[in-house]
Amino acid sequence: MLDISLEIASAFAVTAVFAYVVVAGRRHGLYGDRGWRHIVTGFGLILLGCLLDITDNFPALNVFVVIGDTPIEAVLEKIFGYLLGFVLVFAGLWYWIPLVGGLGGETRRLTGYAKNLEAQVSQRTSDLEIAVEQAREECAGMPIFGEAGDFQGYRGTAADVTGAKREERDLEQLEVRARAIVDGVFDAVITMDEDGIIDTFNPGAQRCFGYRPDEVVGQNVKMLMPESYRSEHDTYLRNFLEFGRAKVIGIGREFEGQRKDGSIFPIELAVTQTWISGAQMFTGIVRDISERKRVDRIQSEFISMVSHELRTPLTSIQGSLGLITGGFVGELPEKVDEMVKIAYNNSNRLVRLVNDILDIEKIAAGMMNLNARPLKLLPLLQQAIDAPRGFADMLEVRLTLDPDSPDVTVNADDERLLQVFANLLSNAVYCSREGQEVSVSAVLENNRVRIFVMDHGPGIPSEFQAQVFEKFSHADMPGRRNRGGTGLGLSIAKAIVEQHGGSIGFDTEIGKGTTFHFDLPLHHQSAVPASWQFRSLFSGTG
């Protein structure tokens, strides 16, 4: 039964192709083309072969078929129906494709002739306009009549306006070019006056919002916003015009737009201020980021799901291997102990990777909240140095704390700051050679405290410095130990410092080392919760 179904389906497919070729040939006048005739005949024979295959399954139909069902006749059927059909189809394509290529070449040549002719006509027209304008004058006068009332002539003045007309024509052409450029932009480009009244609405805006220009020109731009933003729009404009406070103008932000059908979608908005003929105007460039948000959400959900599914078994594996390497089950044979330690180290790396990925996702979603509280800085710095001292001693690198560092109070989440120190100190230790020193210090600068982590390693290559805080970034530096790692540590450290209301940077010199530094506000200046400051970077509020 399956064979019969497949044969019938094949017959229908070949019939469809056969019909399409016939109709296309009729539409394009290919009856006289030898290649087309071969193709039609070939598909006809293939269709005949399909029908003969179907009749093989019905003895009653074989009576009406000249070719029977013996082995020899079946071979003839395949040769006559399929093989010959395919040969004719390929032969037709062999003849037909060169013909198409020739037509394409001829079309290109004719197009070139047309463009050349069009250019000549345009040049002749331009020359004629210039010649006419060179002879053009602007005249003004009054008629003169005699005593008897008879007309005697005119009295007046004449001025050559050739230059003015040429400038007017150039301005018109410039306007046409500018309009063509704006209309060709894929993004929505909307211009409005200082009251928010829409002046122009390009085709990209029509695609984005679903309105025609005549439906929005002369209306307030608030009609393109959800209700939650409309009440704030006038306040934005008033604050900017009266006090110069820019929340949107001159700043790229993410907002929500509302289409003609009422649907709300995420947009990326950039507004610039311009002056046209003494009037203040604003140009808004809007990009629909619905697809980008959808992809980001899918990626975030996938990574989060995978990370959570990995974290539970990895924690169990890590704990079990830790007990074994700690001697809980007794002494192990030397080779087994070595393999268990390798497995334990790799499990630690996987746990760090999963934790880093989760932290990155929390940062991107604005969900990494701080448990900020007043903290004494010196004990925190000492704790940060003591944590990695074991592996630093193993690599013969000294960790030191400057005793002159100020004992001030900062408003911070100690766990998150220790995470920053862990990333900075581990990088510094891995970049240091045996016997070298990694130092931590702090100084007060402009009512803030600046913390330094300094190493004496090879330094950061100039070509990599712009990528230091990017995700998954690694630099190949001579003299640095092969560490591996995820390449997420510094990106996470930067986000945590900024979440605290601070900033992070570095100074480096090839062959002499690198000093990372980050600033934190003192406790008495932390008037705004750092978690709110951080969330505002991603939520578009504030």
pLDDT tens, position by position, 7-37: 677 767 777 776 777 777 666 666 566 666 7
Q: 436 φ, ψ to 5°?
A: -85, 170
104 Cβ partners below 8 Å, 6+ apart?
none
Helix (H/G/I), strand (E/B), else coil: 61: helix
Pick the range with the lowest mean pLDDT from 6-10, 316-320, 380-384.
6-10
With beta carbons less than 8 A apart as the criterion, state whether 430 and 480 touch: yes
Label residue 506 exposed, middle or buried (CB < 10 Å: 0-12, 13-18, 19+). middle
For residue 196, what pLDDT is reported? 85
Helix (H) or strand (E) holding 143: strand 137-145
pLDDT tens, position by position, 328-365: 888 888 888 888 888 888 888 788 777 777 777 777 76
List the structure tokens of 60. 């009653």
- From 529, 527, 515, 533, select the one nearest 443 (Cα to Cα): 515
For residue 438, what pLDDT is reported? 95
Residues in the chain: 542
pLDDT at residue 195 is higher than 80: yes
CATH no. of 179-288? 3.30.450.20
pLDDT tens, position by position, 253-288: 788 899 999 999 999 888 888 887 778 888 888 989
- DSSP code, position 456: -
Summarize the confidence of residues 459-487 as an average pLDDT.
Answer: 74
257 Cβ partners below 8 Å, 6+ apart?
208, 209, 224, 225, 226, 264, 265, 266, 267, 286, 288
For residue 231, what pLDDT is reported? 72
Q: What angle do CA 474, 476, 477 make, to 5 degrees?
A: 120
With beta carbons less than 8 A apart as the criterion, state whether 169 and 140 touch: no
pLDDT tens, position by position, 308-318: 777 778 888 88
Mean pLDDT of the chain: 76
- From 157, 161, 154, 156, select the one nearest 136 (Cα to Cα): 161
Summarize the confidence of residues 66-79 as an average pLDDT.
Answer: 55
For residue 421, what pLDDT is reported? 94
Instruction: Kindly indicate whether the domain formed by 373-539 is annotated with CATH number 3.30.565.10.
Output: yes
